[in-house]
Structure 1
């Protein structure tokens, strides 16, 4: 199926394979909006509506769940169900993704490390679990202070390819507590070679030193390899 994500109905969106989803985003020519929701956080509207539904109502095209323990999924406002992600897909009518964090215990930290439960980390077990749960995509990135490194993101991409059939987004919008460059061209090339479909980068001006020139160079490099870029705030 070849369709622009912007033109697709909910039923069409939810039938897309990972390659079809990538093509649908590409065909939308830079106008795809991802809304990242801290899923366990109380819903803005009360207990009978998820923040994902609110985001979709305000024109989000993709819903990315953050801070989810994939072994104990908690989504505020979601009715009781033994298939939480499939139910959320039905309610929202949009592809649903999740953040998993490739922790690097050896990276030089710039702040105190935030410890994460196993279900939020990028491992073979969590990739197998998100496949079983029915997620459409995964974002390999780091929350503030978690100590995610680009080396570990690269390894996680390779592992995700082995266990997960969905779209793979990879990169950082900030340093995640690690004392390293957030992104550069060499890191981009490594992520693409490892199998990433979408490279996550900071929006221009949102982290020190990341300029419009940096973004342009990364976008040009990524597009040469038929991958996509997500600029994130």
Structure 2
């Protein structure tokens, strides 16, 4: 079986959930996930943040702020919009988003452009919290995630959403019911999200019992109190119940100096992470591209990093 940094676009298109999970296991802690915000103009004109993250070594791309009711990705869907023209030109955004909402090949086409596994954040916000409907974890949005062809979902919470352990567990259970074995479910908290961090191993195991295939935790050095020892204990607990473990940089440190990213990457690898995630809070909805590459080099060296960066989509 190929490792994740050896996959071509043809390999990615043929993969189902279980094969993806086995590929990540085969890669021995050398899988890189980058998160991007889809609602802001890209860092580099003429290329989406998704493509930029892929070009700098990411294997998996997670979309943040994706709206299932009005799907629109800057850098992909705005190429024919002239933002310098009259205000009526902006109406095209609404028209394109409405068209995308009814196009169930939408993400499949995006995947062909980016050439990576593509997932989406979907948030189990508590009842009564005012939040964008298209970003909430509910039956309608989960069905659309399945129909669009995402490779995985990430059940977590952006800052100040009030997402809690209880809402995550309920969200996992609903996702498992609707998605079944069609899509990998990743769940957990990268930070407090307005309702506190997770330090108990039992909670992480409860996520797996509810149906999570992979559990995410903050990477060592990102959240107060999360050091190598605690991260390793938590990852061991996740592995004990048969799930993958992902460490995350979700505290804006994706905009730190490269030495910080390298330190976090090596600490996470020592802790046993299967996937290492780097967040979207660089300059404009994506980590500093150099930091994505620095994370990749830190955990798998230049040979495999350059291979991932250079592989032709059509090979």
| Counterpart for residue 152 of structure 1 | 167
Aligned with residue 183 of structure 2, among 145, 158, 166:
166
The 5 A counterparts of 1:10-159 are 10-46=9-45, 48-79=46-77, 82=103, 83-105=105-127, 115-159=130-174
Alignment match, 1:181 = 197
State whether residues 14 and 93 of structure 1, in contact with CA within 8 Å, keep that contact through their aligned partners in structure 2.
no
Aligned to 1:110: none
> Residue in 1 aligned with 2:313?
none
Contact between 1:5 and 1:13, CA under 8 Å: does it hold in 2? Answer: no
Aligned to 2:293: none
Decide whether aligned partners of structure 1 residues 124 and 183 sit closer, same or farther in structure 2, where only a CA change above 3 A counts: farther
Equivalent residues of 1:65, 1:98 under 8 A apart: yes
TM superposition score normalised by structure 2: 0.68
Q: SS of the residue aligned with 1:33?
A: strand
**What RMSD, in angstroms, separates the aligned Cα atoms of the two structures?**
1.6
Larger radius of gyration: 2
- Specify the SS of the correspondent of 1:20: helix
- Contact 2:205 / 2:241 at 8 angstroms: preserved in 1? no
TM-score, structure 1 as length reference: 0.91
Deviations 1:91-117 (A, max 9, x none): 0111100000111248xxxxxx7x321
75-84 or 204-213: which moved more? 75-84
- Write out per-residue CA displacement over residues 40-86 of structure 1, whole angstroms, 9 at most, x where no aligned residue: 1101222x321101110111000000011112111001146644311
**Alpha-carbon shift at residue 182 of structure 1 (Å):** 2.6
Bigger shift: 136-145 or 76-85? 76-85
Note closer, same or farther for the CA distance 1:183–1:84 as it changes in structure 2 (3 Å cut): farther
Which of 196, 204, 210 is matched with 2:226 structurally? 210
Q: Which has the higher helix share?
A: 2
The answer (yes or no) to whether the contact 1:86–1:134 under 8 Å persists in 2 is yes
Q: Distance in 1 between matches of 2:174 and 2:58?
A: 29
Shift of 1:211: 2.1
Larger RCO, structure (CA 8 Å, separation 6 or more): 2
Q: C-alpha distance in 1, partners of 2:226/2:68? A: 32
**3-state DSSP of counterpart to 2:36:** strand
Q: Which runs of 4+ in 1 moved over 3 A?
A: 79-83
